[in-house]
Structure 1
Amino acid sequence: MTTTYTRAQIDQWVAPVALYPDNLLSQVLMASTYPGNVIQAVQWSQDNPSMQGDAAVQAVAGQPWDPSVKSLVAFPTLLALMGENPPWVENLGDAFLAQPHDVMDSVQRLRALASRPAA
Structure 2
Amino acid sequence: MNLQHFASDLKSQNHFIKASFGGFQGSGKTRTATEFLIGAYKELKCTKPVLFLDNEKGSRFLIPLLKKNKIPVMVKDTTNLADVIQALQYLENNEIDFLFIDSLTKIYYKFIKDYKVKNR
TM-score relative to the length of structure 2: 0.28
More strand by share: 2
Q: Which has the larger radius of gyration?
A: 2
TM-score (norm 1): 0.28
- Which structure has more RCO (C-alpha within 8 Å, separation ≥ 6)? 1
